[in-house]
């Protein structure tokens, strides 16, 4: 059964091919497995945006924000959905909310597109749409049917319906469908292919991506400025499937890969200065692959130059956003920033960037680093909180509450005393006394055991333990606690109290045994873990009981 990440990757691939329904289905399956992953809702929102289902896209965007209010991309999704629904003011507010969290290029671009769309729509309502009269032509379909470039599009019934809708509502003209470029060219009597992207090109239109960086804003709508006719010729979609790669660019890319390989070899040899030089040269030659920067950041990290590692990896994130790089590469850059902050001792920043990395791509390595950083920070916070003087004040406040009969408040004060000085056994022992008054014997027993662990010679803790066990009717264990107290009672300072406590326990034990039958005594003994774990003791008790019962029967007969 595929996991959520595998389904997400498949959904991203379907998205890249504009198979919206398949992408939505795959993201929905992933959500069914991991409904707390905000990235899945973000991606499905983008797929619904591609399908122009604005209401559903908005719903998923809002769920994404609900799960992670600090993730700026969720606001980009919301802005895109509202933009498509022509709720411009709300879309602007969504983008601005995202920019308050992170100043990113996609958010700024989305915001500008909404503002442009709002401005254009305001002008369009005044009748300024330059193409409205063309599409209002009643012979529109006939003209397109006779044109070899547009006739093939009429084989799609949904596209014909769209054209008929624009005939009746020319003011609603929308240029998001790339086939509309051919239609516009046919109506204007010019070749518009020079202004469109060749089918199959690797170049993505504005707001699109082939990986987890799915559209942050809808494709340009009628708010975009109309293309100006040009006499330049360009290959048509029938002739070209992919854009030709410029020879110089191909050469630069190849050179960069060689430099990267040299840098990796130098890195393995721990020749970091040489590795840094190669990775920097690779980026300078081909600034379209952020792995050159993340590798350079790794070199600085190994050199102990953590500030430069942070700066380089943050640049990798920024450049990666503009290049729409794979989300896994963005996650790796964030992870290295977090590791650099951790080595600097800045644990809050380290945790922040580890969490950012996990929002991009969840990996066990970064998750373990996050947990380690959180644990170290928690331990450091505890140590920083220790203050013996304030502990004594809190313990004294607890004593005041205890004497006043406010045992719940006493527990709270003793707890503060323990946090301020966990090496002082008196805090645990005093809290145990308050728990006894609240009849919370298991909690009291834990505290006296902790007090003894902290200070094994603390006689008062043994005495309190014996009292707790007595209240729990664990008389044998209570006697053992008294015996331990006597061993640590130097100078016999507590001899009288211990004798009285032992007598009290013996009387309770005698009363308990007097009320029991021999069978109940045996059953109680077998429940004692120290007896139950010893087969020899079990056997001896059984033999003794058997002899006793036979002797009793003999005497009665």
356 part of a folded domain: yes
The domain tally of the chain equals 5
CA distance 307 to 315: 12
Q: Are residues 327 and 361 in the same domain?
A: yes
Q: Are residues 363 and 286 in the same domain?
A: yes
Give the pLDDT score at 202: 34
Give the pLDDT score at 527: 59
Average pLDDT over residues 50-75: 92
40 part of a folded domain: yes
448 part of a folded domain: no
**Does residue 130 register a pLDDT over 90?**
no
Q: Where residue 300 sits, what CATH number does that domain have?
A: 1.25.40.10
Give the pLDDT score at 452: 95
Report pLDDT digits (tens) over 2-59. Answer: 688 888 888 888 887 888 999 999 999 999 999 899 999 999 999 999 889 999 999 9
502 part of a folded domain: yes
Give the pLDDT score at 552: 60
Of 171, 192, 213, which residue constitutes the final position of a domain?
192
Report pLDDT digits (tens) over 439-488. Answer: 999 999 999 999 999 999 999 999 999 999 999 989 889 999 999 999 98
Of 358, 384, 410, which residue constitutes the final position of a domain?
384
Q: What mean pLDDT value characterizes the chain? A: 80
165 part of a folded domain: yes
Give the pLDDT score at 508: 86
Q: Are residues 510 and 547 in the same domain?
A: no
Q: Are residues 366 and 324 in the same domain?
A: yes
Give the pLDDT score at 556: 54
Residue 402 contacts residue 430 (beta carbons within 8 Å): yes
**Does residue 294 register a pLDDT over 90?**
yes
Residue 425 contacts residue 454 (beta carbons within 8 Å): yes
CA distance 535 to 548: 20
CA distance 337 to 306: 8
Q: Are residues 56 and 119 in the same domain?
A: yes
Q: Are residues 25 and 114 in the same domain?
A: yes
HSE, CB side, 13 Å, CA atoms: give it for residue 496: 1
Report pLDDT digits (tens) over 319-343. Answer: 988 888 888 999 999 999 999 999 9
pLDDT bin (cut points 50, 70, 90) of residue 242 is very low
362 part of a folded domain: yes
Q: Are residues 176 and 141 in the same domain?
A: yes
Find, among 317, 309, 391, the residue nearest to 342 by Cα.
309
Q: Are residues 495 and 526 in the same domain?
A: no
> Which of the residue ranges 169-178, 418-427, 486-495 would you say has the lowest mean pLDDT?
169-178
Question: Token pair for residue 36?
Answer: 């707390």
- Torsion, CA 263, CA 269, CA 270, CA 272, rounded to 10: -30
Of 192, 220, 236, which residue constitutes the final position of a domain?
192
- Torsion, CA 263, CA 268, CA 272, CA 275, rounded to 10: 0
**Does residue 187 register a pLDDT over 60?**
yes
Give the pLDDT score at 147: 78
Full domain range(s) for residue 73: 4-124
pLDDT cut 90: percent of the chain above it: 47
**Does residue 240 register a pLDDT over 60?**
no
Question: Token pair for residue 370?
Answer: 């996050």
Find, among 137, 132, 179, 140, the residue nearest to 159 by Cα.
179
pLDDT cut 70: percent of the chain above it: 76
Residue 47 contacts residue 11 (beta carbons within 8 Å): yes
Q: Are residues 81 and 147 in the same domain?
A: no
Q: Are residues 114 and 156 in the same domain?
A: no
Q: Are residues 169 and 71 in the same domain?
A: no
> Which of the residue ranges 179-183, 188-192, 243-247, 376-380 would you say has the lowest mean pLDDT?
243-247
209 part of a folded domain: no
Q: Are residues 88 and 181 in the same domain?
A: no
**Does residue 426 register a pLDDT over 90?**
yes
**Does residue 298 register a pLDDT over 90?**
yes
Give the pLDDT score at 238: 29
298 part of a folded domain: yes
Its pTM stands at 0.43
Average pLDDT over residues 418-436: 93
pLDDT bin (cut points 50, 70, 90) of residue 109 is confident
């Amino acid at each position: 059964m595929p996991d959520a990440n595998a389904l997400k990757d498949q959904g991203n691939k379907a998205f890249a091919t504009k198979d919206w329904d398949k992408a939505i289905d795959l993201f929905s399956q992933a959500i069914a497995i991991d409904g707390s992953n905000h990235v899945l809702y973000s991606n499905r929102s983008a797929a619904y945006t591609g399908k122009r289902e604005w209401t559903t896209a908005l719903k998923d965007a809002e769920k994404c924000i609900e799960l992670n209010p600090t993730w700026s991309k969720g606001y980009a999704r919301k802005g895109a959905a509202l933009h498509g629904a022509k709720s411009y003011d709300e879309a602007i507010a969504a983008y601005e909310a995202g920019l308050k969290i992170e100043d990113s290029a996609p958010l700024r671009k989305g915001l500008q597109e909404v503002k442009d769309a709002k401005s254009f729509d305001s002008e369009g309502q005044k009748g300024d749409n330059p193409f409205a009269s063309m599409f209002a032509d009643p012979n529109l379909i006939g003209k397109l049917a006779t044109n070899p470039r547009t006739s093939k599009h009429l084989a799609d019934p949904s596209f014909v319906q769209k054209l008929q809708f624009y005939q009746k509502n020319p003011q609603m003209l929308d240029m998001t469908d790339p086939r509309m470029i051919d239609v516009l060219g046919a109506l204007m009597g010019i070749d518009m292919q020079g202004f469109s992207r060749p089918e199959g090109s690797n170049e993505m239109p504005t707001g699109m991506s082939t990986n987890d960086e799915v559209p942050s804003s809808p494709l340009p709508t009628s708010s975009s400025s109309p293309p100006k006719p040009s006499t330049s010729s360009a290959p048509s979609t029938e002739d070209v499937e992919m854009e030709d790669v410029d020879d110089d660019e191909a050469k630069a890319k190849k050179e960069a890969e060689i430099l990267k390989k040299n840098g990796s070899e130098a890195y393995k040899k721990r020749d970091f200065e040489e590795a840094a030089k190669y990775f920097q040269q690779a980026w300078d030659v081909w600034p379209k692959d952020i792995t050159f920067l993340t590798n350079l950041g790794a070199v600085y990290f190994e050199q102990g130059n953590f500030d430069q590692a942070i700066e380089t990896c943050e640049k990798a994130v920024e450049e990666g956003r503009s290049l729409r790089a794979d989300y896994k590469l963005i996650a790796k850059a964030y992870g290295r920033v977090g590791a650099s902050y951790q080595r600097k001792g800045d644990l809050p920043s380290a945790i922040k960037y580890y969490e950012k990395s996990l929002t991009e791509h969840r990996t066990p390595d970064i998750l373990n680093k996050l947990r380690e950083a959180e644990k170290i920070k928690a331990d450091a916070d505890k140590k920083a909180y220790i203050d013996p003087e304030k502990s004594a004040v809190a313990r004294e406040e607890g004593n005041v509450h205890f004497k006043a009969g406010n045992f719940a408040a006493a527990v709270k004060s003793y707890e503060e005393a323990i946090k301020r000085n966990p090496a002082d056994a008196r805090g645990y022992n005093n809290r145990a006394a308050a728990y006894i008054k609240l009849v919370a014997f298991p909690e009291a027993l834990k505290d006296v055991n902790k007090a003894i662990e902290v200070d094994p010679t603390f006689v008062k803790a043994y005495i309190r333990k014996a009292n707790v066990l007595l209240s729990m009717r664990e008389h044998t264990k209570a006697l053992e606690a008294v015996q331990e107290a006597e061993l640590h009672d130097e100078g016999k300072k507590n001899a009288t109290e211990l004798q009285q406590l032992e007598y009290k326990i013996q009387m309770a034990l005698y009363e308990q045994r007097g009320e029991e039958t021999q069978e109940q005594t045996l059953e109680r003994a077998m429940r004692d873990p120290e007896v139950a774990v010893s087969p020899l003791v079990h056997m001896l008790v059984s033999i003794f009981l058997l002899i006793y019962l036979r002797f009793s029967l003999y005497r009665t007969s």
